[in-house]
Chains A and B, each alone.
Chain A
């Protein structure tokens, strides 16, 4: 019995179908958790699908939602704000993460403890971090206002999130505080992977900190920087949580971003078709930007 089974398996393993059979469980899983939901989401964007107006049916409406997007001023404001939100936050987080990673790369006393402390913001759930910062920046009780007033930077307590000029920058600062450890941690790991011989050779050549950073550390981190930037940009583009807590997209539409707009369309208006179209546009934007970024950053270049 077992001999004949073994013989049969041996027979199949010689056929061209064998690799596909081995891959089948993984392919099924990938189909179930990635391909099907993605196709389903795209399909949704071509349907009516308003959950509180089921009398309208759920039939296909072609490109109606996509054409409506072109005429929707909130979409264009959201797109503009999304660009500022994602680029601004990623740039600041990368800069802070890089500074922290380089600083912690020095084997100084207390650096291990410091590296754990610096990671703390990342451990905090975004909802908690958002509420903490909302309180710290509060125009009545906020300690940051008190500190800035004490230092003479501002005359009176400022309502940061109520000012259309300051709401988005303030939210970017909060998100940066929460997200920079992500860059710090991965860049620190990258720095640890740079061979010490390179530093020794640079020291022999008399290279200082700056030359060491530009010619050894930065090139050594190139792949990690590209990967972290892409991952973080995707995460920022897709998550409206912090803005939902801090501003709800306001004042007016000052902090309205695409993910928040899609959320509002889906869960306040229950217009899943329109929200689906917004999500597909975000998906395409992310794919295009990531591809362009990876291509032009030469991350895949063979040295």
Chain B
């Protein structure tokens, strides 16, 4: 029989102390259905890796992921709530939270989040997008930081010193880099699916608010200035490709990658695709240019929330797992998506990459996207079509602004 040593005693004590944690990790079981709207191959690969690591830690939880295309996400969500066929866990974009809550579609996670040891790794603003009326409804999984992609090689050839710092510079540079005879345009504007968000950002950059105390607080003159500036990029300065009104995410990416556009706005989520496509030095990233009233770039935290409490312990295991280092870094490696945790964001693989400097800069001034009940409907059914009408010559900035203001009134009343 071995004698009990001091070292052995300490080791045994440490092992015993760890036992409840291990038992907790392995204790929950059952099936967890996870709805998400990942789109790209990189995202699927990243999710697969996260799920593999999860499986190692929680072998008794059968995780089933289900992909719902983003444009149909709220339709499926609504149907699931109405028909009570809810998945356990759903992905939650901050701008969708008010609508999801209004349908009573999410479970209050406040007590679990407050008791979660990793909560301290997230600054307060990280929780803003998943908090309503003082209650927390989701755990941040990763972050998208808005920024500008620009063709560094073209900038150098044209003698342009650097990416635009403000909107005036932006127009000047875009015009300089436009040459329709070569099918080359200064700016790949997204005025197709998903394009409303960029115009809404500009309205804020020109100084307008949206909703205050549940009322329409838009400043017509400032909104008009934003709509005018943005639409004139195409209608007056002709710096956007002719396909602009049909250009969604895929099209702006292809436009930039095929050498049709010199600059485009997106977020950190597409960095991996760019890095894989371009040679080093061909493109750069920059913080979005400042508007006359504010420099607006969004920090879009993607959350995971729980839709039903049937297997809530296992569901919590899954959503809180995204806050751990291994899955966050694995997901970053596959997708380029920033971890939401500020502790993990200090990882050398992020801080050592110069392409991420623009994101780090944006983290300093970036804000969450506006979120209010009716936001999704207003932006997609009013803002985008009215803006498109200007671009194709069916409307004017003045008429479109009136229609957008009216649309917001209708959404709120």
**Chain B residues with Cβ under 8 A from A167's Cβ?**
246
* Assembly CA distance A156 to B183 (angstroms): 9
* Assembly CA distance A88 to B373 (angstroms): 39
Task: Verify B243–A162 contact, CB threshold 8 A.
Answer: yes
* B5-13, B157-165, B276-284, B379-387 - interface stretch: B379-387
Q: Interface SS of chain A: helix, strand, loop or mixed? A: loop
Q: How far is the CB of A289 from chain B (nearest CB, A)?
A: 27
Task: Verify B392–A54 contact, CB threshold 8 A.
Answer: no
Task: Verify B102–A53 contact, CB threshold 8 A.
Answer: yes
**Chain B residues with Cβ under 8 A from A159's Cβ?**
241-246
Contact code string B369-381 (vs A, CB < 8 Å = 1, else 0): 0000110111011
Within 8 A of A (CB), among B145-182: none
Task: Verify A270–B377 contact, CB threshold 8 A.
Answer: yes
**Chain A residues with Cβ under 8 A from B74's Cβ?**
267-268, 270
**Chain B residues with Cβ under 8 A from A264's Cβ?**
377, 380-381
Let me know if A86 is at the binding interface, CB within 8 A.
no
Task: Verify B385–A249 contact, CB threshold 8 A.
Answer: yes
Within 8 A of B (CB), among A161-179: 161-164, 167
Let me know if B389 is at the binding interface, CB within 8 A.
yes
Count of inter-chain pairs, beta carbons less than 8 A: 116
**Chain A residues with Cβ under 8 A from B75's Cβ?**
263, 266-267
* B14-22, B254-262, B299-307, B337-345 - interface stretch: B254-262
The chain B residue with its CB closest to the CB of A54 is B102
Let me know if A252 is at the binding interface, CB within 8 A.
yes
Q: In the complex, how many residues of chain B place their beta carbon closer than 8 angstroms to a beta carbon of chain A?
A: 44
**Chain B residues with Cβ under 8 A from A163's Cβ?**
392
* Assembly CA distance A111 to B71 (angstroms): 41
Q: Interface SS of chain B: helix, strand, loop or mixed? A: helix
Q: How far is the CB of A36 from chain B (nearest CB, A)?
A: 15
- A250-B260 CB under 8 A given contacts A162-B245, A270-B377: no
Task: Verify A269–B411 contact, CB threshold 8 A.
Answer: yes
Task: Verify B246–A252 contact, CB threshold 8 A.
Answer: no
**Chain B residues with Cβ under 8 A from A270's Cβ?**
74, 78, 99, 102-103, 377
Contact code string A263-278 (vs B, CB < 8 Å = 1, else 0): 1111111110000000
Within 8 A of B (CB), among A243-262: 244, 247-254, 256
Let me know if B197 is at the binding interface, CB within 8 A.
no
Task: Verify B389–A140 contact, CB threshold 8 A.
Answer: no
Contacting residue for A268 out of B102, B377, B388, B392, CB 8 A: B377
Task: Verify A161–B246 contact, CB threshold 8 A.
Answer: yes
Task: Verify A269–B374 contact, CB threshold 8 A.
Answer: yes
Contact code string B25-62 (vs A, CB < 8 Å = 1, else 0): 00000000000000000000000000000000000000
| Residue contacts A-B, CB under 8 angstroms, 8 given | A51-B78, A51-B99, A51-B103, A159-B245, A161-B243, A164-B394, A252-B385, A252-B388
Binding site for A on B (CB under 8 A): 71-72, 74-75, 78, 81-82, 98-99, 102-104, 183, 192-193, 241-247, 251, 254-255, 258, 260, 373-374, 376-378, 380-381, 384-386, 388-389, 391-392, 394-395, 411
Binding site for B on A (CB under 8 A): 51-54, 138-141, 156-159, 161-164, 167, 244, 247-254, 256, 263-271
